[in-house]
Amino acid sequence: MKNSVGKGAILLILSGFVCKIFGAFFRLPLTNILGIEGIGVFQMVMSIYSLALILVTGGVASSLSKLVSSARAKGDVGKINGYFRLALLFSAGLSLVLGLVFAFFSKQISSVQGAVEGSYSYMLLAFLLPLGALIGVYRGIIQGYENMVPTAVSQIIEQAIKFALGLFFAKLLVTNNLSSGVFGAFLGITAGELLAFLYLGIVMILKYKVKAERMPVAHDFFKAVLPLTAGGAIIPFSHAIDSLFVVSLLVKAGLEQTVATTLYGLQTGVVGALLNFPLIISLSVGTSLLPKVSYLTSRGDSVGQKAIISKSFSLLWLALLPLVFGIMSIAEFIYPFLYPNLMTGYLDYAVKLTFIGAVSVILTAIMQFLLSLLQAKGKYLFSMIAMLFASAIKIFLVFTLTVQKNVNIFAIPLSNIFLAGTFAILAIIKLKGLLHLPLFNFFLPLLSAFIMFMIVKILLTLFNNVWGLIFAVVVGAVVYLALSSPLIIEFFKGLLKNKRQKEETK
């Protein structure tokens, strides 16, 4: 095994942070170009696009990672070729159909959302979805070989091009009207997808001798893909429900249409953009964990599975908490700094959304980890049913709480807490015996993150300026690293031990 979960996860975490930095630098000026109302329209289209992308590629990429890893463990190269062919047919065909549906019904979808400015952007999905589908297939095959480098590089390519061309086209076209500016942003996203696809295609041709051949693997493929696609689409579907109805529900709560759209943009485009940073860690650890656990399951190595699961969750927990608590500690200062002309009257909303959303992010990270573990163990149907049940609770809460004047936009992060918490409880019950984390490894990062939070908050009250922010963040990071040093040292010792064992085996 060339790559450990630790190495793969760290690589994806680093690339994820690079991508998020690009994304932040994209979202910040884009918000200032389009305004919070405009970013609300952008997020409405993006939520529908994300749902469609999950449908055409989410289940396929995860399934290929598991199936290819299992086939490698058994030395069955022919199956890998068969999986590749079926994945191409399934993803490309479905993406073309969905893309054309969005193109033809763009005005109707935008009208339901209450944001006709997004109609032109939906037409681009006819090009975006097939590109995303092919990218997902390539990444799934490559990850099945436990090589996370091409995925990391392709993600950076996507974000870099989106940043450069998305902002350029948005700035160029927004002078016409808001819809043209949103369209320009999606034009840049399309260019990024195209170059990422070309890069992964070259990697597949030069490094992997995988051919699209007809093989009797349809049963195994669809047994994995269909539940994963359905299960993976449930959360984006619930977010799409938010984008379709939240604005109208806020209007029912007594808010004006413009204010309702602005609050939706604040939650999804401003607060959500910041709180998405920590989820890089859970996605990266989960992506690296899936093929490894699948490989060990195929070999019948239960001891190895428990060890790698424990180490992976320790890495997730150790890296996640300082980010979440750090964002909470600087929220009140950072929003006016990042959006100096857009926070008037909305800063209190933003800070409260951040604190509630932080709880949601921690639970969502745990949920993503457990979901990857269920998929690696082949528990496709259970994960789909559990996710469906949890999402039903979320949708119910959105519809019942958003119309309450005292709750309004806070219904979104509150409902996300119930979604992630419900799924996590069900998954832990299902996976009993596999999950084990020493209490010390759980509570030390939690305590360290809380102390870091308090120190940063105190320092920001004393030095309320940009240099004070930098100083507070640096001091907070040093405090967290010092307090958590036993676990950090233990983790890197484990990596070095694994490396020595592999060298001795060779």
DSSP structure string for 33-56? HHHHHHHHHHHHHHHHHHHHHIII
Residue 43 has pLDDT above 50, yes or no: yes
Q: Check: CB of residue 148 under 8 Å from CB of residue 287.
A: yes
Selection from 114, 445, 350, 84 nearest residue 248 by Cα: 114
Q: Rg for the chain (alpha carbons), in Å?
A: 22
- Within 13 Å, how many C-alpha atoms sit on residue 28's CB side? 14
Q: What is the pLDDT of residues 109-160, one digit of tens each?
A: 777 666 666 667 788 888 888 898 888 888 888 887 777 788 888 888 888 8
List all residues 6 or more positions away from 434 whose beta carbon is below 8 Å from its beta carbon: 305, 306, 309, 373, 377
Q: Check: CB of residue 318 under 8 Å from CB of residue 491.
A: yes
Band (pLDDT 50/70/90 cuts) for residue 7 is low
Distance CA 451, CA 15 (A): 28
Between 30 and 411, where is the model more confident? 411
What number is the average pLDDT over the span 20-36? 72
Task: Identify the pLDDT of residue 12.
Answer: 58
Q: At what angle do helices 257-265 and 5-53 cross, to 10 degrees?
A: 160
User: What tokens were used for 72?
Assistant: 């490698």
List all residues 6 or more positions away from 506 whose beta carbon is below 8 Å from its beta carbon: none
Distance CA 20, CA 15 (A): 9
List all residues 6 or more positions away from 237 whose beta carbon is below 8 Å from its beta carbon: 51, 391
**pTM for the predicted model, two decimal places:** 0.70
| Dihedral sign (CA 273, 267, 124, 394) | positive
Q: Check: CB of residue 67 under 8 Å from CB of residue 79.
A: yes
Q: What angle do CA 426, 325, 269 make, to 5 degrees?
A: 80
What number is the average pLDDT over the span 331-339? 83
Distance CA 443, CA 324 (A): 15
Distance CA 355, CA 335 (A): 13
Band (pLDDT 50/70/90 cuts) for residue 486 is confident
Task: Identify the pLDDT of residue 1.
Answer: 43
Selection from 122, 131, 407 nearest residue 254 by Cα: 407
| Residue written as token pair 């890495």 | 315
Residue 359 has pLDDT above 90, yes or no: yes
Residue 56 has pLDDT above 60, yes or no: yes
The mean predicted confidence, pLDDT, of the chain is: 80
